[in-house]
Structure 1
Amino acid sequence: MNDQDHLSKQLIGVLTANGVLRTHAWSRAAEAVPRHEFLRGGFFRRVDNTVPTAWAPVLEWEAGWLEACYTDESLVTQIAGTIVPRDIRGHIMRQPTSSSTLPSLVLRMLEDLHVEPGNRVLEIGTGTGYSTALLCARLGEQNVTSIEYDEDVAAQARTALGRLGFYPTLVSGDGLLGYDDGAPYDRTIATCGVQTVPSAWIEQTRPGGLILTPVGGWLNACELAQLTVHDDGSASGPLLSGHVSFMLARPHLPRPLGLLPDLSAGKERETTTGADALNDWTARFILQCAVPRAQQLTVERDGHTEHVLIDVESSSWAALHEDNGRWVVRQDGPDALWDAAEEHLGRWHAVGKPAVETFTLTVTPDGRQTVHW
């Protein structure tokens, strides 16, 4: 057994013991797909103790590359939309834009997709092609369609898949539009986060079929939604337990904040819900539902820290700070952001702060999305 086989077998053993790999069919698929083949272009390693975060390239011939490919970690493969590991000597301080998701999450999502032999699957976000290969190994390449927004990323995935003899239908384009030419699909799975589930995915998935997608937003709380498509063109289903982290689809990324508003303006009042609510993942997810266009930042002002929510589109904002053990909010603009946040969180608290796996997401035929608990 060579090093790669040993490392792969070791990782699969860990995922099986942890309950991630729950079926023999997906275990066989994982055994058939070597992850390192999808990371031959290298990856970026986070540099410790850097602010903002710095990233250093790790290339295929360097020590530790192969071992890292078989760790249960997400590995960043692109930064700032165009920069790949071979482009950098030293460090780079920009935002990651593509990655190879940690294998436990990839395989957990594939298990939660509940595929059956012969199912046709649409994958949104080819990425490195690793999850695409797993689908091919499980269902056959003829049943797999995958769409990738970034043409360079798609080309690298196509090469890696071809090395393993997999030739699914690969499309470069906006995954939020799906791929109507291959519809209807039995299953649709997204490997990027979305703020709202696109109507095209529902239209292109057959009634009774499943959509599995991360649903998140600009406050960086994300949950997996497992939706069943209904005959009337709606879709609904539970949020699955366990917080997840995915990069948002590029068309769903936030607008630049631009020039900050005058934070001394607006109306001020005391609030029983402080900015510390944002430290709780589920509370932050609920806040996203209340103020879906808001972004968060902190500023030092007048000798104290202010926690600011800004909706660039409506020019609404809310700034909170702590004053002698009490929280004070100041708001301005057409939408009272913190009023909406308090109302949503108040209803959640009133029923005992239920866990996220009790939540249900519904998308109506006209595209309106609601979360219930």
Structure 2
Amino acid sequence: MPTEPEIETPAAGLRRQLADRLEKDGRLRSREWRAAVGAVPRHAFVPRFYRESDVPGVTTWEPVTPETVGQEEWLGLVYTDETWVTQFDSRDIDWSDPQPVSNATPTSSSTLPSLVVRMLDDLDVHEGMHVLEIGTGTGYSTALMCHRLGSEAVTSIETDEGVARRAREALAGSGYTPHLFVGDGRAGHLDGAPYDRLIATCGFRNIPPAWLEQVLPGGVILTTLRGWMRSLGLVKLIVTGDSANGWFSEDEPSFMIARQQDAPESLGVLPGPDDGTERRATYGPGVLTSSGPAFMAQLAAPDVRSFSMAVDGGPVSTFVLDSVTDSFAVLVPVDSGWQVRQGGPRRLWDAVESAVATWEVYGSPSTAAFGLTVSRDAQVVWLGNPNGPQWPLPS
């Protein structure tokens, strides 16, 4: 590993270039955050990482270190606007002999800087404020906040002990000493409350009640919401005592889901060929993957996952399974359309089609047309205004 003096001179130039690009693209909009991007050494927080290989076939990630690709290429990649994976399947990587990784799920990463600074800008912080960060990760975004507000003003929680340890070492080595804790981010950190701002860098299925209790009235909660199929997107809430209201962003960033809310391993019970009742489907399985309709499908069926496969040599069918209620829908291609077979306590495809149809009636709007109201009793996503069409988040 090259020494810090050998790295810092080229790294400083690369940081300025990164800040220039982010500013030109409209992502870096304040001199304070520009100063932070120009000062915080991202290479200290991602000294080694994985990038996705371009080899066709099974998705494979290849290790990137100064030793594997050379210092110049490694450092150049560190300061590009890319997300770099730093952990798979919640297990530490043996960096003494890093190998390509396949058939694995990324569980920690350094998020692309443009999204990091966009979220920090949306957080609307000012001198003297205290911030709670959920998901320390590599510590890079934590360091940016420390540079902007001072280390004493920043508290960060990470659920993974190994990830937290590496972040703590990188932060200390870069001169930052925020309040760092290992635990379940849904509980926040009561001892440091109240906070003026709360930012989450992993996805949640709902807003944890503890966050409302620990953020001051008038304070901001900024987080991504997601389900087991996809991300719903970034939402910014203003806290008003024991409730909060706000709007989704135009963008639809997708963060890894909080580990405590990850989907169960079992997809649910596969239906038999004669289970359920059939009808002609208005929409086919494409609504599960196209941006706007998929957003609606996730709202309508928050506990659902789907997959496609051929059954007994027949056509490829799409299975939509709800492991919470054991409800199901199976979509089978027929002449110029789709047939759906549904069963269980919920008619899943009825709910999905109703939500997509509502979205179309309202002009197929972007996520920025949706808002969220959170109270002690319910959490509801609405379209247009709080009295518009509504979909509850899972409790």
TM-score if structure 1 supplies the norm length?
Answer: 0.96
- Deviates most, 133-142 or 64-73: 64-73
- Deviates most, 86-95 or 324-333: 86-95
Q: Which residue is equivalent to 1:53?
A: 59
Are 2:261 and 1:255 equivalent residues in the alignment? no
Q: In 2, Cα distance between the equivalents of 1:282 and 1:293?
A: 18
Q: Which residue is equivalent to 1:71?
A: 80
- Deviates most, 80-89 or 217-226: 80-89
Are 2:327 and 1:316 equivalent residues in the alignment? yes
Q: In 2, Cα distance between the equivalents of 1:357 and 1:363?
A: 17
Return the letter of the residue paired with 1:315: D
Do the aligned residues in 1 keep the contact of 2:333 with 2:339 (CA within 8 Å)? Answer: yes
Q: In 1, Cα distance between the equivalents of 2:40 and 2:303?
A: 39
In the alignment, which of 6, 20, 25 is matched to residue 13 of structure 2?
A: 6
1:191-218 CA-to-partner distances (Å, cap 9, x unmatched) read 0001111111111101100000001111
Q: Which residue is equivalent to 1:159?
A: 169
Q: Which residue is equivalent to 2:391?
A: none
> Helix, strand or coil for the counterpart of 1:97?
strand
Q: In 2, Cα distance between the equivalents of 1:164 and 1:298?
A: 48
In the alignment, which of 185, 196, 207 is matched to residue 186 of structure 1?
A: 196
1:170-206 CA-to-partner distances (Å, cap 9, x unmatched) read 0000001110111110000000001111111111101
How far off its partner does 1:260 sit? 4.7
> Helix, strand or coil for the counterpart of 2:321?
strand
For residues 351 and 46 of structure 1, do their structure 2 counterparts lie closer, same or farther at Cα, with a shift above 3 Å needed? same
Instruction: Provide structure 2 residue ranges, at least 5 long, that are not aligned to the other structure.
Output: 1-7, 385-395
Number of aligned residues: 371
Percent identical residues: 43
Do the aligned residues in 2 keep the contact of 1:193 with 1:247 (CA within 8 Å)? Answer: yes
After TM superposition, the structure 1 = structure 2 runs for residues 1-373 of structure 1, keeping only pairs within 5 Å, are 2-40=9-47, 42-62=48-68, 63=70, 64-84=73-93, 86=95, 88-231=98-241, 233-257=242-266, 260-264=269-273, 265-301=275-311, 302-373=313-384
1:140-194 CA-to-partner distances (Å, cap 9, x unmatched) read 1110000000010000000000011100000000001110111110000000001
> Helix, strand or coil for the counterpart of 2:91?
coil
Instruction: Provide structure 1 residue ranges, at least 5 long, that are not aligned to the other structure.
Output: none
Do the aligned residues in 2 keep the contact of 1:238 with 1:357 (CA within 8 Å)? Answer: yes
Give 4+ residue runs of structure 1 displaced > 3 Å after superposition. 49-52
1:263-291 CA-to-partner distances (Å, cap 9, x unmatched) read 41211110112111123212111111111
- Deviates most, 93-102 or 121-130: 93-102
How far off its partner does 1:83 sit? 3.3
How far off its partner does 1:362 sit? 1.1
- Deviates most, 136-145 or 359-368: 359-368
- Deviates most, 138-147 or 315-324: 315-324
How far off its partner does 1:52 sit? 3.2
Q: In 2, Cα distance between the equivalents of 1:259 and 1:284?
A: 21
> Helix, strand or coil for the counterpart of 1:192?
strand
> Helix, strand or coil for the counterpart of 2:212?
helix
Return the letter of the residue paired with 1:128: T
Do the aligned residues in 2 keep the contact of 1:199 with 1:367 (CA within 8 Å)? Answer: no
Do the aligned residues in 1 keep the contact of 2:271 with 2:328 (CA within 8 Å)? Answer: no
Supply the RMSD in Å over aligned alpha carbons. Answer: 1.5
Q: In 1, Cα distance between the equivalents of 2:102 and 2:271?
A: 33
Q: Which residue is equivalent to 2:393?
A: none
